[in-house]
Amino acid sequence: MLVITGGAGFIGSNLVNFLNNNQDEEILIIEEMDTYLKKFKNLDDLKYIDCIDKNTFINDINNNSSKYKGKINNIFHLGACSKTTEPDRDYIMSTNFEYSKDILKYSANNKISLIYASSASVYGETKLFIEEPEHESFLNHYAESKLLFDQYYRINREKITSQVVGLRYFNVFGPREFHKEGMFSVIYHFFTQMNESGSINLFKGSHGYKDGEQRRDFIHVDDTVKVNNWFKTNPGVSGIYNVGTGKSRTFNDIANCVLDYYKKGSINYINFPDNLEDQYQAFTEADMSKIKAKGYSDNFINLEEGVKSYLDWLSK
């Protein structure tokens, strides 16, 4: 059996879909049942054993419940509070850090493979996105929680004999993110703006970049799912790895992809929000050397192809 926390969420539901397409339906989904009800629509076309509350699951495993003994082969830990502007540090730490520590303890003690979601936010303001402590810092509580768990795993990894993999996702976009509200990908935002006004809003210049020229490493969700599956099929590989394309692109590039798709529209440059100034990453670009050195060799979907396929999906 596979366990996927956050299985009704964005990357989680895409992972379930991928596994279903590969004849794997022995999946237990763990979710926060009392919030974000829209996200459960992501499960309508998927096959799984059950979807249970995250608190029920963590209480069961912390009490060594016999219901899971010998049944779980892999845990994909994707559940988290992903709101980078969340001001409640106690909530972030409880949800992202303490919960993850319990998952790690259980998986390690029971020799269960654990593949968990870290984040490119742990690189803060660096210009070198390499999986080493000297390049890491945080600009908000979300990033702090992700970095603390990476560090917790590093401290304990010599004592762990089973697979543990942390995946640092860069800017992921693609289907099944309609529930994310303030955390939508820019492609979803641009899709909505084009349908509402026929134009796209981008930030004016900031952090040393000209209008719309801030750069991010945008990766299609299908590629992140393939990376998860690769580690599942390579249980001897552990560690913390970047998951991006390795090539940064500008927000202008994305906007122009969307305008090309619609064959109309324009770009409006709006003022950069004051409240984001100190916690905004104006540049990200994954160094993919480490994962490639371990043998990962699949090509990544290029931006133009990925944006088109996502807009096709949204336009159905």
- Residues known to be catalytic: 142, 180
Range list of H helices, 117-264:
141-156, 186-197, 221-232, 251-262
Helix (H, G, I), strand (E, B), or coil: what is residue 61? helix
Determine the Cα angle at 240 with ends 182 and 303, to 5°: 50
Q: For 59, phi and psi rounded to 5 degrees? A: -65, -40
Which DSSP string do the residues of 98-125 spell out, in sequence order? IHHHHHHHHHHHTT-EEEEEEEGGGBTT
C-alpha to C-alpha distance for 315 and 295, rounded to whole angstroms:
36
Distances (CA, A) of 305 to 162, 197, 198: 37, 24, 22
C-alpha to C-alpha distance for 208 and 200, rounded to whole angstroms:
22
User: Can you list the pairs that 32-38 forms with residues at least 24 positions away whose Cβ atoms lie under 8 Å?
Assistant: 32/79, 36/179, 38/178, 38/179
